[in-house]
Amino acid sequence: MLPIDLTGKRAFVAGVADDKGYGWAIVRALAQAGASVCVGTWPPTLRIFTKSLERGKLDMSLPSGGEIELEKIYPLDAVFDSLDDVPEDVRNDKRYIELSGYGIQEVADQLRSDFGDPCLDVIVHSLANGPEVRKDLLETSRAGYLAALSASSYSMVSMLQRLGPLTRSGGALVSLSYLAAERVVPGYGGGMSSAKAALEGDTRTLAYEAGRKWGLRVNTISAGPLASRAAKAVGTIDKMVEYYRANAALPEVATAEEIGTAAAFLCSPLASGITGETLHVDKGYHAMGMPADPQLSTE
């Protein structure tokens, strides 16, 4: 038996807002492997998330028995490196006005204060947002394009700048990408394909830089589509899921649990030789060169 054992490790998972998406699946897998887990939640969804947690509406169960116990929940808006960058209209927004410390630097400072330095072994970047994702790239504004890159790719650079110094040697960062970084996916617009391409390119560069500086491994998972609450922003998500089901090498759709366990593997000592990698977890869809038309089958 070769188990994934993260006992005594601490993970920070950025981008958890409910119990349906890939972020939560990664939380579950890391907790099942024995890690202590802290999460960062976007301020507009923080109240809903914490209330759901208090009322027992989130699925906290672990496949091996027991329940997930989150060590701490931090408000996090990863488009702001620090609170100095937050514009006045956001500061005064009703979802933000009672919060403090939601910039990346402030979250890093709070982690250091709460747990010491160093205190992290695993960083998970499960963040993406493109305000114009339903627009073709040709119709995307400069502001929309840059917003997609800021929230979905530069946020990983900023997180690593500030959380990297908190990691212990042998630590790992994993992020979530999508095949639109490599292939044309109609309907996935607004600069999001560009943001995912940047994320994958940055993964390779940061693997070198963070590896030399902190002994940190950096990888990303190119996940198949999931009809999560967040993904509903992509109007064609249900069609994308069904297309994968029909045309992947394995005629199935990758589950959130499979993404979670792949992330736990990449963050574990079992993957100590893997860094700078884009790991496709999509039932082999990325390997297909044309639709899996039954009429072309040799059977």
Alpha-carbon distance values, 36 to 122, 123, 145, 273, 274 (Å): 10, 12, 36, 23, 23
d(Cα 96, Cα 77) in Å, to the nearest integer?
10
Catalytic-role residue among 74, 102, 188, 244: 188
Looking up tokens 């593997």 gives 265
178 is catalytic: yes
243 is annotated as an active-site residue: no
At 32, the amino acid letter reads Q
| The 3-state secondary structure of 86-100, one letter per residue | CCHHHHCCCCCCCCC
**148 to 6, 39, 142, 289: CA distances (angstroms):** 33, 22, 10, 28
Q: Do 262 and 243 touch, CB atoms closer than 8 A?
A: no
**How many Å from the N-terminal Cα to the C-terminal Cα in the chain?**
38
Place of tokens 């802290």: 38
| Contacting residues for 67 by C-beta, under 8 A, at least 6 apart | 60, 61
Question: Which residue among 22, 74, 145, 178 is the active-site one?
Answer: 178
Residues acting as catalytic residues:
178, 188
